[in-house]
Structure 1
Amino acid sequence: MTEKLSDETRKPLLAPLFDTGWALVDGRDAICKTFVFDDFVEAFAWMTRAAFWAEKWNHHPEWSNVYKTVEVTLSTHDVGGLSTLDAKLARKMDSLMG
């Protein structure tokens, strides 16, 4: 079962994500990032690859796509905040960019 990140685990899991452009969401225990691509097809292809992992891990992002930009917010609704699943999916999304 997934648990909300403890004070001890937050910094080591989240600090590397902040270095890649993720940020805390104001007013809630969540992280967000804006991904920008060359065009709509590239953005949608990335979303398709990310969706595969989200489904495999049963952890689905809040996201929206406008043309070549994808806005992503991650939080684990079952625990009311950030969990290791959010950090895992964020790392995967970053890796799918390269």
Structure 2
Amino acid sequence: MKIETMSKLSEETIAEKLKSLEGWEYTDNCLATTFEFKNFKEAFTLMTRIAFECEEMQHHPDWTNVYNQLEIRLNTHDAGGVTEKDFQLAEIIENLVSEQP
């Protein structure tokens, strides 16, 4: 699913949309969250699944992984901030996390 570049969302719109994304916050011009898993294998498995979705969307997170923790930051560099594309990817990530055994 390729999504075209979109316009930067206002802070008010971002705040409203964040109400439906538990555990995510708007910070430093990005949507950000941290997930903690039982071990490195679970964290890396989820990263791999997310990577396939990111490639499909042509939209890639800034992320770091240390052992069982995965920190994710989303923004649309072309738009200079958070767009609908970032919320779409955040929702995909949430769905993948919820499918984890």
Instruction: State the TM-score bracket (shorter-chain normalisation).
Output: 0.7 to 0.9
> Does residue 24 of structure 2 align to residue 22 of structure 1?
yes
3-state SS in 1 of match to 2:32 = strand
Structure 1: gaps spanning 5 or more residues: none
Spell out, residue by residue over 1:11-66, the C-alpha distance to the aligned partner (whole angstroms, 9 max, x if none): 4422211xx100111xx321110011111010000000001111100110000000
User: Using the alignment, how far apart are the partners of 2:75 and 2:19 within structure 1?
Assistant: 16
Alignment root-mean-square deviation, CA:
1.4
Runs of 5+ unmatched residues, structure 2: none
Report the TM-score, using the length of structure 1 for normalisation: 0.87
Change beyond 3 A, Cα 1:3–1:40: same
Same amino acid, percent of matched pairs = 43
Q: How many residues align?
A: 94
Aligned letter for 1:85? Answer: K
Using the alignment, how far apart are the partners of 1:66 and 1:45 within structure 2?
13
Please tell me the residue identity of whatever aligns with 1:36. Answer: E
The 2-side partners of 1:8 and 1:41 are apart by 38
**Residues 8 and 22 (structure 1), Cα distance of their counterparts in 2 relative to 1, 3 Å cut:** closer
Name the SS for the 1:10 alignment partner.
Answer: helix
- Written as runs of structure 1 = structure 2, the 5 A alignment for 1:72-83 is 72-83=72-83
- AA aligned opposite 1:23: E
